[in-house]
Chains A and B, each alone.
Chain A
Amino acid sequence: MKKGSQLTLVSATICALALLASGCGGGSDTKGAQQSSSSQSSNNTVISVHGCEPAKPLIPSNTVESCGGQVVDAINSKLVRFDDQGKAHNDLASEIKGNDDMTQYKVTLVDGRKFSDGTPITAKSFTQAWSWAANVNNGQLASSFFANIKGYDDLQKQGAPADGQLSGLKVVDDKTFTVDLSSPSSTFPIQVGYTAFAPLPESFYKDTKAYGENPVSSGPYKFESWQHNAMVKLRKNTTYKGDIKVQNGGIDFKVYTDVAAAYSDVQAGNLDAIDTIPTSAQKTFMTDNLVQGYNKPGSVLQMFTIPTTMEHFGQNEEGHLRRQAISMALDRKMLIDKVLGGLGVQPTDFTAPAIPGYSKNLKGSDNLKYNAKKAKEYWAKADAISKWPADKSFQMVYNADGGAKDFYDGMANSIKNTLGIKAIATPVPTFSEFRGNVNKRAYNDAAFRSAWSPDYPSPESYLLSNFASSAADGNGSNDGDYKNPKFDDLLKQAAKAKDTNEANKLFQQAEEILLQDMPAVPLYYANNKGASAKNVHGLTLGWNSYPNFAELSKQK
């Protein structure tokens, strides 16, 4: 839960594994060496890792949190998989081909891949699974991921037929199906790497409840057992024919409710790896000689949103000046070093370093750097347009259960000291209460904490969900209700782009608009942090912050 309240890590996919050593590099030199030595002595030891109790049965389209997410991700293959750089590679698909305006895709599957129950993975395994997930009768938490497929709205209406199928999906033959989209999407071939798009076997529909407790696998691991509140056991899937090379005999997810307890177990040698670091150890884990620490830039972007409704902060000249002034008034480096112990990276854009399309040199990225002089100047300019009342506080609301207190207090001080205005950080006890208020738009005259972990490794996941007009007014995560037709238009162009590079260029242009309008102020990229016991090799965390399980190995 702690994890959920900090960042709900939705999607995922195991990175390209040891086989693609080039793609999975990035480790320190010593780690690289350990990795290669371990791959020679490939063994069948089971690795125990920190886990938490899945919030829902292990059904791909109903798993939107990391506890269940990392399990579901490890046992399911998707059309594409992602390497360590977040780049998509074909997995179950041999080709995903779009038409001219990217509204229709033809998907061809590779031969010979099977579910762990022995049945073949066919076109129907996908179309049926996606339709089932999109059907409102099944109440799937990830159903909105299918929103762009034609026929989705019909399946979301009250009284939709229980066995209704998405009209946009057509099976051509066993190995081929077509997808009709409601609007162009150049990132569709990336999106299908998200766990909710996993194929499901025929047996799933006979008893979905039983499946959720004992799922069939299509990935590098097969499910062995789930003892609730105690352990989820996965074993190497010997019938798996994909590209991921598994270096261990299986993964045991030991359930912890408190990461501090899990960290103590890694220190004591009772647990092999942990994918997060408790607050109490954040300053010490990289130098702790009882463990091997891991600390690399990740994909989570921490921000705070300034709603358009906030007085003096509207989307106009005065508002833009003030938003930029606030951003430049924040001494992010000091806060990251002092409060986060250096476990974050200063932002330069609206995505994150682990994402293809991330950029350090966008026009206007200076607005994300501490500059007291310019901040004061911009604030004064805005005051010339309309005066900020001397007794008014700039208020920032955050949830107190995610460990954000020190950072927000520090921000308030930084703004106070730089701009000479009143600034306060206001805590709300729980994440659930906080999100409830945000959804009700209760903070219309205060800034509030926001964070994003992408659903698929593309700038689109950050931009479309958080800043597009279509996601405003309660239709998505654009909680500040930011609307800019120019920005929307660039996203639309990117959706029709012919390839990922072209799309990413357009996304970057769109981000340059955001750097001026500043609908939300980026604070830092949260690092992926983890630790493993002394005798464990190959711990790396993927773009989705999940460990690359297949790479873990251990000396007895």
Chain B
Amino acid sequence: MGKYLLRRILQMIPVVLGTTLLIYALVFALPGDPVAAMFGDKPVNQAVAAQIRSEYNLDKPFIVQYVLFLKNALTLNFGNTFAGQPVISVIGRAFPVTIKLALMAFVFEGIFGVIFGIIGGLTKGKWSDNIILVLSLLLISVPTFVTGFILQYLFGVKWKLLPATAGANPGFIDLLMPAIVLGSVSMASIIRLTRTEITSNISEDYVRTARAKGMSNRSVIMRHVLRNSLIPVVTYLGADIGGLMGGAMITERIFNIQGVGNTLYQAILRGEGTLVVSIVTILVLIFVITSLLVDLLYAVLDPRIRYA
């Protein structure tokens, strides 16, 4: 177990290095000159532009810029944004908000996804199953921004039941609608996943054996069917955390949440390489760590899986 953990942790190093290099190269290759863009459509003062370029190392070749970034990153100095703020404080502001939002969406999709999936799976073919199927299909096929705008208009503008946007320092109520919007598509996937797993597991031999031995229906479902059905669901949920963190861009824009997605979007628009890479690196770390946790969880759910 310990050896396995160590190996997985060592594997993270090339993954993180590779992604930062890749992202840095991509941002570097973005067309357009970020310094010239600071002047808007006003004439670019070349002397001033040169001054700004040297301040942000933008006048150096790509590989030198990247190495300088890495060197500073090792000492946790990510430099300043074009607005003159430390990158670390920008990240420090954005991540807590997105983590809050992602966690709320995660809990929402996990609980409701599994519950409705179980109901659907156990009542296969009945009206409750059909309703759940149709609704989940609807949620999967409607893009997030449509659900977002519709809920915002209905609950925020028309009925004024929930805040239309979240704004600064959002609380639970502010993030409730965004979290539901963000989690809705994944919830629908989880419903379908759980439902399919349960319907297939319920007709497995071991279930029949358990029933034949006279086990109560309740413990057959809880101890055998559910436990086996949830393994792929856990995998999905684990992978989804990363997606929720980085993929909240659309939801964050609709509800004006100043989180990671919004910050990343603006950094890309401004061509701020260091900010983009710093944020993506953290997202990669979150992704790698959650997938490690998911792998470890397998062992809990399925005793047959052992790590060495």
- Contact call B266/A1, Cβ cutoff below 8 A: yes
Partner of A261 from B43, B47, B83, B253 at Cβ < 8 Å:
B253
- Contact call A257/B265, Cβ cutoff below 8 A: yes
Interface string of B21-62 (1 = CB under 8 A from A): 000000000111110111111111101100110010000000
Q: Report the interface size class on chain A.
A: 35 or more
- Contact call B256/A262, Cβ cutoff below 8 A: yes
- Pairs A-B, 6 closest by C-beta atoms: A8-B40, A230-B168, A432-B32, A433-B32, A261-B256, A432-B37
Q: In the complex, what residues of B have CB within 8 A of residue A56's CB?
A: 38, 82-84
Q: In the complex, what residues of A have CB within 8 A of residue B42's CB?
A: 8, 10, 64, 141, 144, 455, 477
Q: In the complex, what residues of B have CB within 8 A of residue A143's CB?
A: 45, 48
Interface residues of B in 140-164 (CB under 8 A from A): 152-153, 156-157, 160, 163-164
Known: A55-B83, A157-B47, A257-B256. 10 other contacts (CB 8 A): A56-B84, A141-B38, A156-B45, A158-B47, A256-B165, A257-B258, A258-B254, A262-B165, A268-B157, A435-B37
Q: Of residues B36, B43, B55, B168, which shows the largest number of chain A Cβ atoms within 10 Å of its Cβ?
A: B43
Interface residues of A in 232-261 (CB under 8 A from B): 254-258, 260-261
Given contacts A261-B253, A268-B160, A433-B32, A4 and B40 within 8 Å (CB-CB): yes
- Contact call A229/B160, Cβ cutoff below 8 A: no
Interface residues of A in 352-366 (CB under 8 A from B): none
Given contacts A229-B263, A268-B156, A430-B269, A136 and B48 within 8 Å (CB-CB): yes
A264 contacts partner chain B, Cβ-Cβ < 8 Å: yes
Given contacts A56-B83, A264-B152, A475-B43, A436 and B36 within 8 Å (CB-CB): yes
B96 contacts partner chain A, Cβ-Cβ < 8 Å: no
- Contact call A1/B83, Cβ cutoff below 8 A: no
Question: For residue B159, which residue of chain A has the nearest CB?
Answer: A268
Q: Report the interface size class on chain B.
A: 35 or more
- Contact call A261/B255, Cβ cutoff below 8 A: yes
Given contacts A230-B169, A254-B167, A436-B36, A1 and B256 within 8 Å (CB-CB): no
- Inter-chain CA distance A262–B37, complex, in Å, is 25
B85 contacts partner chain A, Cβ-Cβ < 8 Å: yes
Given contacts A137-B51, A261-B255, A476 and B164 within 8 Å (CB-CB): no
- Inter-chain CA distance A258–B37, complex, in Å, is 20
Partner of B39 from A141, A257, A451, A471 at Cβ < 8 Å:
A141
Q: In the complex, what residues of A have CB within 8 A of residue B8's CB?
A: none
Interface string of A1-20 (1 = CB under 8 A from B): 10010011010000000000
- Inter-chain CA distance A156–B252, complex, in Å, is 42
Q: In the complex, what residues of B have CB within 8 A of residue A542's CB?
A: none
- Contact call A257/B157, Cβ cutoff below 8 A: no
B296 contacts partner chain A, Cβ-Cβ < 8 Å: no
Chain B nearest CB from A385 CB (Å) reads 34
B99 contacts partner chain A, Cβ-Cβ < 8 Å: no
Partner of B168 from A255, A430, A451 at Cβ < 8 Å:
A255
B227 contacts partner chain A, Cβ-Cβ < 8 Å: no
Q: In the complex, what residues of B have CB within 8 A of residue A471's CB?
A: 43
Interface string of A457-487 (1 = CB under 8 A from B): 0000000010000010001110000000000
Given contacts A56-B84, A439-B36, A230 and B167 within 8 Å (CB-CB): yes
- Contact call B165/A1, Cβ cutoff below 8 A: no
Residue numbers of A with Cβ under 8 A of B are 1, 4, 7-8, 10, 53-57, 64-65, 136-137, 139-141, 143-144, 156-158, 209, 212, 227-231, 254-258, 260-262, 264-265, 267-270, 290, 429-436, 439, 450-452, 455, 465, 471, 475-477
Interface string of B57-101 (1 = CB under 8 A from A): 000000000000000000000000011110001100110000000
Chain A nearest CB from B250 CB (Å) reads 10
- Contact call A64/B38, Cβ cutoff below 8 A: yes
Given contacts A255-B258, A258-B254, A432-B34, A227 and B157 within 8 Å (CB-CB): no
- Inter-chain CA distance A143–B43, complex, in Å, is 11
- Inter-chain CA distance A465–B85, complex, in Å, is 32
Chain B nearest CB from A344 CB (Å) reads 18
- Inter-chain CA distance A403–B56, complex, in Å, is 31
- Inter-chain CA distance A273–B42, complex, in Å, is 28
Q: Of residues B30, B47, B90, B169, which shows the largest number of chain A Cβ atoms within 10 Å of its Cβ?
A: B47
Q: Of residues A8, A227, A229, A255, which shows the largest number of chain B Cβ atoms within 10 Å of its Cβ?
A: A229
- Inter-chain CA distance A158–B47, complex, in Å, is 8
- Contact call A258/B169, Cβ cutoff below 8 A: no
Instruction: List 6 contacting pairs A-B, 8 Å CB cutoff, sorted by A.
Output: A1-B269, A4-B40, A55-B270, A141-B42, A455-B42, A465-B43
Partner of A258 from B34, B40, B160, B253 at Cβ < 8 Å:
B253
- Inter-chain CA distance A269–B165, complex, in Å, is 11
- Inter-chain CA distance A7–B42, complex, in Å, is 10
B273 contacts partner chain A, Cβ-Cβ < 8 Å: no
Chain B nearest CB from A544 CB (Å) reads 14
Given contacts A258-B253, A430-B269, A435 and B52 within 8 Å (CB-CB): no
B271 contacts partner chain A, Cβ-Cβ < 8 Å: yes
- Contact call A264/B164, Cβ cutoff below 8 A: yes
Interface residues of B in 104-150 (CB under 8 A from A): none
Question: For residue A261, which residue of chain B has the nearest CB?
Answer: B256
- Contact call A256/B256, Cβ cutoff below 8 A: yes
Question: For residue A147, which residue of chain B has the nearest CB?
Answer: B45
Q: Of residues A257, A270, A434, which shows the largest number of chain B Cβ atoms within 10 Å of its Cβ?
A: A257
Chain B nearest CB from A180 CB (Å) reads 21
Question: For residue B51, which residue of chain A has the nearest CB?
Answer: A139
Chain B nearest CB from A436 CB (Å) reads 4
B262 contacts partner chain A, Cβ-Cβ < 8 Å: yes
- Inter-chain CA distance A500–B299, complex, in Å, is 83
Given contacts A144-B45, A435-B41, A465-B43, A261 and B36 within 8 Å (CB-CB): no
- Contact call A257/B36, Cβ cutoff below 8 A: no
- Contact call A439/B44, Cβ cutoff below 8 A: yes
- Inter-chain CA distance A143–B47, complex, in Å, is 10
Given contacts A1-B270, A432-B33, A477-B41, A265 and B48 within 8 Å (CB-CB): no
Given contacts A64-B42, A141-B48, A229-B258, A435 and B36 within 8 Å (CB-CB): yes
- Contact call B270/A264, Cβ cutoff below 8 A: no
Question: For residue A450, which residue of chain B has the nearest CB?
Answer: B41
- Inter-chain CA distance A431–B39, complex, in Å, is 12
Interface string of B247-287 (1 = CB under 8 A from A): 00000111110100011011001110000000000000000
Q: In the complex, what residues of B have CB within 8 A of residue A261's CB?
A: 164-165, 253-256
Q: Of residues B167, B169, B252, B262, which shows the largest number of chain A Cβ atoms within 10 Å of its Cβ?
A: B167
- Contact call B36/A432, Cβ cutoff below 8 A: yes
Question: For residue A56, which residue of chain B has the nearest CB?
Answer: B83
Given contacts A7-B41, A477-B41, A53 and B83 within 8 Å (CB-CB): yes
Question: For residue B155, which residue of chain A has the nearest CB?
Answer: A268
Given contacts A228-B85, A261-B254, A270 and B164 within 8 Å (CB-CB): yes
Question: For residue A269, which residue of chain B has the nearest CB?
Answer: B160
- Inter-chain CA distance A432–B39, complex, in Å, is 10
Question: For residue B53, which residue of chain A has the nearest CB?
Answer: A139
